[in-house]
Amino acid sequence: MMPADPHRKDVQLVPAMAEAGWRGVSGFNPAHRRWAGRRAWTATDPLPPALLIGAVFLLDVVLVAGVGTAISALPDSAGRPALALVALATLICLVVAGALGAYGHAALFGSRRASAQLVAGLATAIGSLELAAQAFGSPDALPVGPALLWFAVGSPLLLVGRTAASFGLRATADRTRQRAVLVGDGPQAARFVAAMEARQDRSLRLLGLVDDQPAEAVDAERGGSGLPRVGSMQTLCAMIRRGEVDQVIFTLPWASDERLLRLQTTLGDYPVDLRLAPDLAAYHGGSESGLEVGKLRLLRLADRPMRGWAGAAKALEDYVLALGAVAVAAVPMALIALAVRLDTPGPVLFRQRRTGFNNKDFFVFKFRTMFHEQADHEVRRQVQEGDPRVTRVGAILRRTSLDELPQIFNVLRGEMSFIGPRPHAPGTRAGGKLFEDVTDRYASRHRVKPGLTGLAQVRGYRGMTDTEEKLLLRVESDLEYIEKWSLWLDVVILVRTLLAVARMRNAH
């Protein structure tokens, strides 16, 4: 039996911490102390895995390149590696190590395999360049002596550096481990927890478990995992919306394919990683593809969009574009503000509630385009061409999309992206139906931050969304953008948006 639709605004959500029985909240179960008592759970968000990987990666760059640079500075009549060769060797080393898995999130917390992969990367880099130098008749480019010295000094330094990094990550576990919730409390959950304990995995922090089964079925298959229950599937969805969960791990029998598909569909609209734990003998490891947790592999079902390096690149893009836009548009925005104030009485800016990332509401900033006394904060009626509520200056601003310029500050506040699905106001309707009732995939738009412009807008799907067909076209474009996102796609959308604004096409 599935819970009520978690996307509906009228659903009363039970506080997850109270349901789970954490200390300090009524209903704490002492039997859960084995997990919850180790370290009091807090709502502190962990650092992004991309940031941790980047820091460790930078440390390895410094170590490999530092040793090579020091050797190149040694006086040696037999020759020494040039700085360009040092840079190439460093690149080869880290690329090989990364391809072998040395920079996986779990590998950062202390893995002998990751250390061996780093040494293998250094050996491959130095060895391949040495062979190339000999083959092309330039032995002085990288003499054997300096090459061996580089490997002899660099290898232990890499091992020491990785050990120090793993100790640092473990010491700050609350900020470095990914927060995970298990779905399913059968024998699979118990085996998974036991496997994590046996392998002393430190890359995940298990908050607890939920089960979608009826109470009688749960009692029949309880496997004694020792994890506290955080409540129902409805509670799990609430935790994800509050940003308290990074991964959901399905610990279900693989034969329960219909149940797994139903759960995956329910959680597929949320910005969370979905993983499937191995079953039965698969806990002993193997060559199957997946994500390694110690020697345990989690099968990847779905990833959060724009995660890892892609998320870091997207965030950097947003701030660079927003700061550039502020520098370019500061004077025009001041003039527009003056025009709005002189045209009709009322405030210059208009704040309107919109639904954003992870279904959370926020307020967008816009230049006021309507008469102040007729402002429609709840979007009870969408603006039409020739709408008498729109002022003279407002009509020009809406036609050129200049009324959206203040949303640059929403980007700087972290509430929006420069490019992404346009945010809609809660309660907006198409063909008499709420947007979320028109298509089941509507909430999937909220897996990423909304944008100032998007793929749907440059395709011409703008203006009133008064029919279901118009909304479906927008949603299809938004989901296509999320699935196919790249920096190049953002460049194309940005250029097409600027061209559309220059031609003064109808704004959305």
For residue range 484-497, what is the model confidence (pLDDT) as tens digits? 999 999 999 999 98
**Per-residue confidence at 189, pLDDT binned at 50, 70, 90?**
confident
Same domain, 323 and 468: yes
Per-residue pLDDT, 391: 86
Same domain, 285 and 318: no
Same domain, 209 and 66: no
What is the rounded CA–CA span in Å between residue 422 and residue 477? Answer: 11
Predicted confidence (pLDDT) per residue in 432-458, tens digit: 788 888 888 888 888 899 999 999 989
Lowest mean pLDDT among 6-10, 72-76, 312-316: 6-10
Q: Is residue 144 a part of any domain in this protein?
A: yes
Same domain, 181 and 283: yes
Number of domains into which the chain is organized = 3
Name the residue with higher pLDDT: 83 or 290: 83
**Per-residue confidence at 277, pLDDT binned at 50, 70, 90?**
confident
DSSP character for 212?
Answer: -
Query: What average pLDDT does the segment 275-282 reach?
Result: 70
The pLDDT > 90 percentage for the chain reads: 28
Name the residue with higher pLDDT: 211 or 34: 211
Q: Is residue 10 a part of any domain in this protein?
A: no
**Final residue belonging to a domain, choices 302, 324, 343:** 302
The pLDDT > 70 percentage for the chain reads: 80
Same domain, 326 and 271: no
Which of 96-105, 178-187, 447-456 is the most confident on average? 447-456
Same domain, 199 and 86: no
At a CB cut-off of 8 Å and minimum separation 6, what does 93 contact? 60, 64, 118, 121, 122, 124, 125, 126
Q: At 260, which CATH number? A: 3.40.50.720
Looking up tokens 């250094």 gives 122
Q: Is residue 9 a part of any domain in this protein?
A: no
**Per-residue confidence at 33, pLDDT binned at 50, 70, 90?**
very low
In which domain, by residue range, is 202 found? Answer: 16-46+177-302
**Final residue belonging to a domain, choices 143, 171, 199:** 171
Q: What are 249's two structure tokens?
A: 């791990």
Same domain, 391 and 486: yes
Predicted confidence (pLDDT) per residue in 392-417, tens digit: 888 888 888 888 899 999 999 999 99
Q: Is residue 7 a part of any domain in this protein?
A: no
Same domain, 187 and 167: no
pLDDT above 50: residue 186: yes
Q: What are phi and psi of 42, to 5 degrees?
A: -130, 165
**Per-residue confidence at 24, pLDDT binned at 50, 70, 90?**
very low
Predicted confidence (pLDDT) per residue in 370-381, tens digit: 887 766 666 666
Q: Is residue 58 a part of any domain in this protein?
A: yes
Q: Is residue 183 a part of any domain in this protein?
A: yes
Same domain, 70 and 125: yes
What is the rounded CA–CA span in Å between residue 230 and residue 183? Answer: 10
Predicted confidence (pLDDT) per residue in 143-171, tens digit: 888 889 999 999 999 999 999 998 888 88
Q: What is the DSSP string of 140-187?
A: GGS-HHHHHHHHHHHHHHHHHHHHHHHHHHHHTHHHHSEEEEEE--SH
DSSP character for 228?
Answer: P
Query: What average pLDDT does the segment 21-41 reach?
Result: 37
Looking up tokens 């920079």 gives 103
Name the residue with higher pLDDT: 339 or 438: 339
Query: What average pLDDT does the chain have?
Result: 79
Q: Is residue 457 a part of any domain in this protein?
A: yes
**Per-residue confidence at 44, pLDDT binned at 50, 70, 90?**
low
Strands (E), 266-421: 273-276, 291-293, 296-302, 349-355, 361-367, 417-419
